[in-house]
Structure 1
Amino acid sequence: MTSSPARVLTDDELDLLELALGGAIDRLPYAPAGPLTLTDTENTPLAEVAADGTLTPLKPVARALGPQWDESLRLAARDVAAESVPGTTAMWLAEAPTVEDGSVVTEAAAAGAVLLLVPASRHTEPGTVGAAGLTRAAQGLVEWIRDMLRDVSGEAGAREAEAQAAAEAIEDALRVVVVPYPRGGQAPAPADVAAAYGAERVVVPADLRSSPAGELLERFATARSNTLRAMYPEASAREVERAAAAGHRQGTVVFFTGLSGSGKSTVARALAAELDDDGLGATLLDGDAVRHHLSKGLGFDRESRETNVERIGYVASLVAKHGGIAVAAPIAPFESSRAKVRQLAESAGARFLLVHVSTPLEVCEARDRKGLYAKARAGEIPDFTGISSPYETPANAELVIDTSQVSVKDAVALVRKTLDAA
């Protein structure tokens, strides 16, 4: 662990850190001269900024589930650039590609290597295709081009071998690469990012769409509203839309509890990301992140811990009261505070799912990314759960998961299965 002052990074800042560590940008726009330690919301030290601005990696940036986190796709810019050939074109796929976009990509691939760059933010805006969806769409575009070219080569008759070879060349020219990319104003220009990944030019297919295609997409986006206004007088259409917007679904609180290092935060983040990807929208209330905002200033004695957990439960119940899904992941070692959270959720009319992440202490201690167990064993951290403070095992958990036996992907599937059955 370093003794430098620390800065907890936002999601956008984490994206920028990934870009910088991978060689896509030269400097971090948010980091002043060091020494400064950059951490995630779990206080894991990720990198250190020296006095001259030099960036030194300390720990890997935590990954989550979804195709946008596939290690074969989410690559450092310097590694992709090292393999790129002269004349490489980058296609910036910030939107799901259309058939017209596919034709633009195919034409470029016929002329040389093409990088399908997928800008991937850690958050999905409501009503938009997020990072996971864009990644799947980019991979699907490659499949669509492959199938289209095979169909054409199959109809080529005597020229079939020649057409097949051309189709294979185009297919080999395409490569999907996921680029961590923030949503805020500090995002680097696509052209600069593309150059760092080894491309000599960048094309945004969405900017080249024909007027008819643009008009079709615009009509699609407003199809429901236009249909209502065709069927109803204006006043009636407004009331039907208002009623639909006010439609209320039952809210849900998914509350993870377990020792530090048990994997609860990892599973919670993966669950929230998957729910976002499905358009369900989830609010993630991770223990360490809440400590920096909602519970800043609280200590780690029993009373402070229970207050922290109850605050998390109160916010989660507000989210769920209005039909949202709250995913919380504090340690929550005491039964009394967990019972209070359950009561808050149920009083708000929400479903409540308590997930005990029961990973054994020795496994949690071996993981110890932040070095907390070692400090607790040395007596440097008092009241540390599992070492010098008790963890009261839940007797009423709806689901028990041991992440030393179950993968993150399977753990998320178990949680969703339990939710579906509730």
Structure 2
Amino acid sequence: MSTPQQPVPQHCPTQRELDDLELLVTGAYSPLTGFNEPGSPVRLALPDELADAAEVELVDPEGLPLASVTADGSVRHLTHAQYGPFRRLYLSPGDVRETYAGATFVPVTDALTQAELDSLPSGPIVFLALVGAGTPDDLSPVGLIRATLAASSLLPDASVVAVPLPSHDDPSADHLLGTQVVAHFAAGDPIFALPSSLDSGAEGPTGPTNAHPAEIQEIVDFDRPAPDERGLVLFFTGLSGSGKSTIARALQDKLLEQGRRTVTSLDGDVVRRNLSAGLTFSKEDRETNIRRIGWVGAEISRHGGVAICSPIAPFDETRQQVRAMVDAAGGEFFLIHVATPLEECERRDRKGLYAKARAGVIPEFTGISSPYDVPEDADVRVDTTGRTIEEALDDVLDTLRKEGLLDL
């Protein structure tokens, strides 16, 4: 009797890894054909529980299987990505070569100025909008494609192709990869380098203005709102009893009284009763709770709102994951460390939690039997010892004003 075949485990990669996967399976990364090849920045990090798997199925965020990858990083293509803004513009190098043979290819990494448009050669133009996770440019991937489409509408014979070229935090390797990718799309046709393109040393247009045409500027303004209009996640972290929830509530009241921003509170205890009901206080569940708060906060920031989060959030790794979520959503992440010392927090102990932790009734209690990673990247630190709430809140507000994030 044959043994039933075990299903292949599935994994949803990061957006950077999904971008890399698309370029691998379309041949845009040739001669690379898989992940983790020697000397290549194109890496795939699997969770520990899948590290020894012979094969893993890679799925998109909706669970659609895109490819399978073996232990050596080899990729077997299953299907292309189906969804996403402007998906119709994400073509393979082969499709582009067949459709746009003879055109001049122009890599684009930012909204085009009038001077750059004036510098373009005559004849058919194909703008390669280089979008991808982690790219340092201010425009979002969707914003860059919209701005490039607007530029193409101003020319007599121009088209746009989206290329999901991500950053790997290695400028030299990324430059080499990008040059190879653009060459695969152009396939011998001329490549025109703008100052904002891959070749940072390329000579570009000069002139009295670097302004965008009105059609493009409107898109830039929408995609790059002023600092005090961007989505914002105000993330309070500190020990139990430090005063973080009290300051967070006072800040929320200030914002609501002003009436200029939509505000959502994601207080630790409130989230525990609703979003994270059923989770324990184990390290794993506490991290899950923070990631849930972070995901909701990031989505609020994506739509221009303000999220005020006040969990303990003791682990730096999880806080960095939340920061990455907010960055990916186009929001601003502002970290407030309420640095009231343990002795003062324990002296207050209004809920009797520290006493129970000292007695061993509450295991893995932050500051007693579980560590707290003091944040080194806090935007502001506040010690509430011997201070009023108004005084502590002023420390936060002063920094927010200086950063141009809130005007209160």
User: Larger % of helix: which?
Assistant: 1
TM-score, structure 2 normalization = 0.43
TM-score, structure 1 normalization = 0.41
Larger RCO (CA under 8 A, 6+ residues apart): 1
